Amino acid sequence: MKFNTQSILLWVLSIVLMAALGIYQRVTGPTYPVSGNLMMNGQKYPYVLLRSHDSHIDAPIVVKLPDSTKAIYRYKRFKSHDSWTTQELVATNGQIETSIPRQPAAGKVEYQIAVYDGEKYIPLTEDPVVIRFKGAVPAYILIPHIFFMFFAMVFSIRTGFEALLKRKKTLSLTTITMFLFLVGGLILGPIVQKYAFDAYWTGWPWGHDLTDNKTIVAFIFWLIAWFVLRRKPENRVWPVVATIVMLMVYLIPHSVLGSEIDHTKTESTDKTEVVK
């Protein structure tokens, strides 16, 4: 009974830690929306600015503001020689509405909105927000990818506990962990990447995508742990090391140094458009 209770508690703790890691990765990543509140005349106006959107459609911008409030919206392609395109906006029906022109997969746009408070224009963000466009990933690919990666991290943590407590299932849990990382990260992961950014792999040695790189690093350490345990089942060092490595690499926010188009390597678009 004690064994079963301990096992259940370890699984629950592993899931809780995985959820905490997942939330941390999500909210600290460069594709998580920028949100805040604009104070005008003693009133608070919340806003959410997108940093990721599908490439087949313009990305909407909607900010709730009092009617007749003026705002200036400017944007340009990220990593380009473009000049800023500027648009003057006026709130109607309690909000201002505009959009960010859609870009090809991995294309980025930097944009900024400033609202007139009656005396001066107040930018919603100190620096321009960068949004990245991506291709749509079919649900039948994306959902299994998320499923396998979620359980790969759960089993990683659970295997670490098993090794630290010198329990009997370290090898079997390591095998499952390695299999989950293989399917979720190294098979389905590149397929997701191909749909989203038209490239199967953008990590080392062909690129610097940290999502790809951290996946292969985590898998390599679990592969080593698996080989060591098959020869010496009593050796608990490598599964613990693999768990620590996994925790370290997954503290890196998702999509950092991800795929992007560098327009500075193409012809310059030197123009400024003012839309009224």
What pLDDT was estimated at residue 3?
A: 54
Q: Is 50 exceeded by the pLDDT of residue 274?
A: no
Average pLDDT of every residue of the chain: 88
pLDDT confidence of residue 146: 92
Q: For residue range 99-147, what is the model confidence (pLDDT) as tens digits? A: 999 999 889 999 999 999 888 899 999 999 999 999 999 999 999 999 9
What pTM did the predictor assign?
A: 0.82
How many CB atoms sit inside 10 A of residue 150's CB? 16
Q: What is the mean pLDDT of residues 162-173?
A: 92
Give the amino acid at 129. Answer: V
d(Cα 273, Cα 113) in Å, to the nearest integer?
16
Please check whether residue 75 is in contact with residue 84, taking contact to mean a CB–CB distance below 8 angstroms: yes
Pairing of β 85-90 and β 70-77: antiparallel
- Per-residue pLDDT, 256: 64
Predicted confidence (pLDDT) per residue in 176-227, tens digit:
999 999 999 999 999 999 999 888 887 777 777 777 888 888 999 999 999 9
Cβ-contact 153, 246 below 8 angstroms: yes
- Domains of the chain (ranges plus CATH)? 2-29+137-249 (no CATH), 34-136 (2.60.40.10)
